[in-house]
Amino acid sequence: MIFTKMHGLGNDYVCINCFRERVEDPSGFARTLCDRHYGIGADGLILICPSKVSDFKMEIYNSDGSVAGMCGNGIRCLGKYVYDYRLTGKETLSIETKSGIRNMHLHIQDGKACGAMVDMGVPRLNAHSIPILSEKDLVINDPIEVQKKNYRMTGISMGNPHAVIFLEEINGISLEETGRELEFHPRFPERANIEFCHVTARDRMEIRVWERGVGETLACGTGACAAVVASVLNDLTDEEVIVKLLGGELSVRWDRKVNHVFLEGPAVKVFDGVL
């Protein structure tokens, strides 16, 4: 089986072309391949599949084998793969995901895709649809407690659940402890991705991400989108923001006229391999 290792700002994936390969047990396969000591090592597994409703279908599995509904960095890697390996000559693509169809426009340089602008769709704010257990319809600046510490979160779904927390300082937090406990907090029936954010200007912020089923990652595309939506809802930033993550920067814009979030960033091939 041939695979390709790719990443978006260090958020790395093993990509399998399912037009020619067959994966029998993708959850177990993801756990094996993504192990950083006994496998290839990655945050997740991406299966690039045929689709009856769009150009391609993306199936994505976290490193613990759980299914991810959507991935902003992963979908850019898929776009680079299908263009560079000549599965398509189109620069504008529609991709079927578990969270719906997403459209993206590839950035081409020297005949290869180097990144993309992705329409990440409509941010879901209703607590039930995220899901977050709440008596209120919207979870904005809502208190939550872990380890006897009180935080305030804003809940958003970008195809997967996010809880965004704004702090004055994010580098001193132990995400291994706090992030894990928040991920499994009883208020999140399907667990949640957790973003710790520090706003530095109306158009810039820094975030650290604890990704559901993975742990702390160098970048998270849906997390960056959720953070910007949350910052606008809390009147901390404007609608277009540069988001600085551990692995680099993403550009996020929430166009409130059409109520869609747009994400722009790079995609990089690391290497090809054979299993």
In the chain, the amino acid numbered 67 is V
Range of the domain at 24: 2-119+265-274
Positions annotated as catalytic residues are 71, 220
Statement to judge: residues 51 and 110 lie in one domain:
yes
| Arithmetic mean of pLDDT, 68-87 | 97
221-233 and 72-84 helices, crossing angle to 10°: 140
- Say yes or no: 98 and 132 in one domain: no
Going from the C-alpha of 84 to that of each of 40, 77, 89, 103, the distances in angstroms are 22, 10, 9, 18
From the number of C-beta atoms within 10 Å of its C-beta (0-12, 13-18, 19+), residue 219 rates as buried
234 assigned ligand-binding residue: no
Cα–Cα dist 154/156, whole Å: 7
* Spatial CB neighbours of 174, under 8 Å, sequence gap ≥ 6: none
Are residues 89 and 184 located together in one domain of the fold? no
- Tell whether residue 103 is among the known ligand binding residues: no
Q: Is 213 left (phi over 0), alpha (psi -120 to 50) or beta?
A: left
- Global pTM value: 0.95
Q: Based on the domain organization, do 142 and 218 belong to the same domain?
A: yes
According to the annotation, is 212 in a ligand binding site? yes
Mean pLDDT for 86-111 is 98
Read off the pLDDT of residues 132-184 as tens digits, 9 standing for 90 and up: 999 999 999 999 999 899 999 999 999 999 999 999 999 999 999 999 999 99
Are 132 and 254 part of one and the same domain? yes
pLDDT in tens, 8-64: 999 999 999 999 999 999 999 999 999 999 999 999 999 999 999 999 999 999 999
Known binding residue 259? Answer is no
| 114, 132: one domain | no
Number of domains in the chain: 2
For 153, 165, 194, 210, 246, the CA distances from 181, given in Å and listed in that order, are 14, 14, 10, 10, 21
Q: Are residues 74 and 143 in the same domain?
A: no
Q: Is residue 211 part of an annotated ligand binding site?
A: yes
Kindly give the residue spans of alpha helices, DSSP state H, lying in the chain: 26-34, 72-84, 175-183, 221-233
* Percentages of the chain per state (helix, strand, coil), in multiples of 5: 15, 45, 35
Q: CATH no. for residue 153?
A: 3.10.310.10
Q: 157-196: b or e for each residue (b if 16 or more CB lie within 10 Å)?
A: bbbbbbbbbbeeebeebebeebbbebbebebbeeebbbbb
